[in-house]
Amino acid sequence: MAASRHAVTLCLLLLSIPGCSSLLPSEHAEARSPFDDYLDSEMRYSKAIPGKTTRSELFALGFDPLTQSNGKMLSFIDIRLMFVQANVPIDYLPDGLLQCLQAKDRCIGYAFEFNKTDTKRVGNFWADAFNFRKKRELQGWNFRAVFVLVDNMLVHKLSNGEPNIRRYEVKRNPLGPLQGAGGFILDQMQ
């Protein structure tokens, strides 16, 4: 009797929260950066001027691989592999890169990648929990920059990124929790 009362109470409780999307998981991922958002990173990037900006000025702008996370130090060889392609004549490269290639060991590079994304599951809790339909919204930004220096002077820079990431994914499984169970059952039989 007590067991059936608990089962009825549990069923009533579960039925009372039919659209609880707040119970769905969410995720926040961030490659730590000194920048508030994409525009901030782009603005500071624009202040680095080849032929005028020194290494210490570049670091002051927030592009310092020693104190900021998500920065790589590039050797002359790394820069050569990054920019020199077999089907592109070397004299086609920008002057700053040619200067780097000629300077060899006096040339160093820094590569940065900063991003911030928020992912949350949306939709019906029960459809998600029983694997019938999973909906995800992802939004955020990412910014990548490469700086090339010769003798502590910036000679070349390059950037790219996505200022406004907005993605929506829907995964449907008509069989719900049974979807993919066939593979599991076959694995258990072996």
The number of distinct structural domains making up the chain is 1
The answer to whether residue 152 scores a pLDDT higher than 60 is yes
Instruction: Name the residue range of residue 65's domain.
Output: 21-183
16 domain-assigned: no
pTM over 0.85: no
Per-residue pLDDT at 12? 47
Q: Give a yes or no: residue 14 inside a domain.
A: no
Average pLDDT of the chain to the nearest whole number: 81
Does residue 4 lie within any of the structural domains?
no
In a domain, 12, yes or no: no
Distance CA 157, CA 37 (A): 20
Q: What are phi and psi of 60, to 5 degrees?
A: -65, -25
Is residue 88 predicted with pLDDT exceeding 90?
no
In the chain, which ranges are continuous DSSP H helix? 2-15, 38-46, 55-60, 76-83, 95-103, 125-129, 181-189
Helices and strands: H and E segment counts in the chain: 7, 5
Predicted confidence band of residue 108 (pLDDT cuts 50, 70, 90): very high
162 residue type, one letter:
E
Q: Tell me if 11 is assigned to some domain.
A: no
| Confidence (pLDDT) at 167 | 82
Does 141 reside within a domain? yes
Whether residue 7 is contained in a domain is answered as no
pLDDT, tens digit, 9 for 90 and up, residues 8-38: 454 444 445 555 555 666 665 555 678 889 9
